[in-house]
């Protein structure tokens, strides 16, 4: 298949979406859950702090939201750029 301008734009939009999603993915897990946990230690959540909650609950919930958002957005981008499956 030849490279078309629409394909290029589509691919660039996809890369942008993936990049932002992965920034959020890393922030909630490696950030809030691990490295930045000391900064969040002031925020109490049920006998511990927000970082602990992100490590054991919050990041999983954010992952879920991210995948569904990505699937919804990408499936729309497919149609906008005319590359969806007929």
Partner 1 sequence: MDQYTLNLLFVGATFALYIGIAIWARAGSTSEFYAAGRGVHPVTNGMATAADWMSAASFISMAGLIAFTGYDNSSFLMGWTGGYVLLAMLLAPYLRKFGKFTVPEFIGDRFYSPTARMVAVVCLIVASVTYVIGQMTGVGVAFSRFLEVDNATGLYIGAAVVFIYAVLGGMKGVTYTQVAQYVVLITAYTIPAVFISLQLTGNPIPALGLFAEHTASGLPLLERLDQVVQELGFAEYTGAQGSTLNMVLFTLSLMIGTAGLPHVIIRFFTVPRVADARWSAGWALVFIALLYLTAPAVGAMARLNLIDTVYPNGTAEAPIAYDDRPVWMQNWEVTGLLTFNDANGDGLIQWYNAGSESFAATAAERGWAGSELSVNRDILVLANPEIANLPGWVIALVAAGGLAAALSTAAGLLLAISGAISHDLIKGQLNPNISEKGELLWARIAMAGAVVVATYLGLNPPGFAAQTVALAFGLAAASIFPALMMGIFSKRVNNKGAVWGMLAGLIVTLVYIFLHKGWFFIPGTNTFTDADPLLGPIKSTSFGAIGALINFSVAYIVSNATEEPPQEIIDLVESIRVPRGAGAAQDH
**Site for partner 1, rule CB under 8 A:** 1-3, 7, 10-11, 14, 18, 21-22, 25, 29-30, 33-35, 37, 45-49, 52-53, 55-57, 59-61, 63-64, 66-68, 70-71, 74-75, 78, 82-86
CB of 34 to partner 1, least distance (A): 5
Q: Which of 13, 18, 12, 32 is nearest to 66 (CA)?
A: 18
For residue 62, count other CB atoms closer than 10 A to its CB: 17
The candidate with the shortest Cα–Cα distance to 6, out of 66, 61, 78, 81, is 81
Least Å distance between CB 6 and partner 1? 9
Shortest distance in whole angstroms from residue 46 CB to partner 1? 3
């Amino acid at each position: 298949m030849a490279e078309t301008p629409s394909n290029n734009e589509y691919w660039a939009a996809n890369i942008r979406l993936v990049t932002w999603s992965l920034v959020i993915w890393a922030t909630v897990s490696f950030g809030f859950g691990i490295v930045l946990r000391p900064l969040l230690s002031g925020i109490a959540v049920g006998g511990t702090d927000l970082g602990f909650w992100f490590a054991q609950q919050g990041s999983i919930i954010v992952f879920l939201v991210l995948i569904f958002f990505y699937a919804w957005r990408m499936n729309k981008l497919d149609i906008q750029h005319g590359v969806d499956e007929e």
